[in-house]
């Protein structure tokens, strides 16, 4: 067996073999391994939690006409600060809070800061939603979508094709092969809609 001492082992090696230990010592050895693994997991998860993750801010896109968000007067570029008096830290946080209200339908008091910097209170009336995955994003149907950043050139490689074409760092991409790139998220939404469409 694996725990047996090797052939020709001395008496001291035979006595120190795992399978020759008392039951209590074997339990202590196995338990020490388990406890160390648990402690290691606690430290790893604590480290990940302290490092955090990058999440987008809760900045909304232009609400579609005649949606609850448009009727509430939410403006494109407004950042959600709080929902029902609870501070919002990210887009996913805002999304969860609004989906919670939407699960049963109701009103949400939203505090936003406008692109001009003014803080405003808005009341959003959200209809109850069955949360059907085939029905698409219920928040988008209510007029609330994450604002997509404008595609911009981050860096241009020296001697590369981008530099030869005259691109500079910070340039905004407004079209690609004659196709407008006004809303980068529109292509993703179109792809998802086509992918999940009934055959």
Q: What is the DSSP string of 2-66?
A: TTSPPTT--HHHHHHSGGGS-HHHHHHHHHHHHHHHHHHHHHHHHHHHHH-------BB-PPPTT
Q: Are residues 66 and 38 in the same domain?
A: no
Q: Are residues 24 and 105 in the same domain?
A: no
User: What radius of gyration, in Å, describes the C-alpha atoms of the chain?
Assistant: 29
Task: Give the separation between CA 86 and CA 78, rounded to whole angstroms.
Answer: 17
pLDDT for 191: 62
Q: Are residues 94 and 31 in the same domain?
A: no
Q: How confident is the model at residue 130 (pLDDT cuts 50, 70, 90)?
A: low
Determine the average pLDDT of the residues in 19-25.
84
pLDDT for 43: 94
pLDDT for 179: 61
Q: Are residues 131 and 81 in the same domain?
A: yes
Which residues are CB-neighbours of 80 under 8 A, at least 6 positions away? 58, 59, 60, 88, 94, 110, 111, 112
pLDDT for 161: 83
CATH assignment at residue 82: 2.30.42.10
Strand-pairing partners, residue 86, are 83
Which residues are CB-neighbours of 83 under 8 A, at least 6 positions away? 94, 97, 98, 101, 108, 109, 110, 111
Averaged pLDDT score across all residues of the chain: 83
- The answer to whether the predicted template modeling score (pTM) of the entire model surpasses 0.85 is no
Q: Are residues 86 and 139 in the same domain?
A: yes
pLDDT for 162: 81
Q: Are residues 76 and 42 in the same domain?
A: no
Task: Give the separation between CA 25 and CA 32, rounded to whole angstroms.
Answer: 10
Q: Are residues 121 and 91 in the same domain?
A: yes
Q: Domain range spanning residue 140?
A: 55-147
Domain count, the chain: 2
- The answer to whether 72 and 144 are in contact (CB under 8 A) is no
pLDDT for 45: 92
Reported residue count of the chain is: 199
- The answer to whether 166 and 186 are in contact (CB under 8 A) is no
Q: How confident is the model at residue 1 (pLDDT cuts 50, 70, 90)?
A: very low
């Amino acid at each position: 067996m694996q725990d047996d001492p090797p052939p020709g082992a001395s008496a001291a090696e035979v006595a120190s073999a795992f399978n020759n230990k008392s039951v209590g010592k074997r339990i202590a050895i196995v338990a020490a391994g388990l406890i160390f693994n648990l402690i290691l997991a606690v430290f790893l998860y604590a480290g990940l939690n302290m490092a955090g993750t990058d999440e987008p801010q809760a900045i909304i896109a232009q609400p579609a006409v005649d949606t609850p968000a448009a009727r509430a007067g939410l403006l494109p570029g407004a950042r959600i600060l709080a929902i029902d008096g609870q501070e919002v830290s990210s887009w996913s946080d805002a999304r969860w809070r609004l989906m919670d209200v939407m699960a049963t339908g109701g009103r949400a008091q939203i505090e936003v800061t406008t692109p001009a910097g003014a803080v405003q209170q808005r009341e959003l009336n959200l209809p109850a939603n069955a949360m059907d995955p085939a029905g698409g994003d219920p928040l988008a149907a209510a007029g609330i979508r994450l604002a997509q950043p404008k595609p911009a050139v981050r860096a241009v490689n020296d001697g590369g094709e981008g530099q030869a074409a005259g691109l500079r760092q910070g340039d905004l991409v407004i079209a690609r092969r004659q196709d407008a790139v006004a809303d980068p998220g529109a292509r993703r939404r179109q792809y998802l809609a086509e992918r999940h469409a009934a055959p």
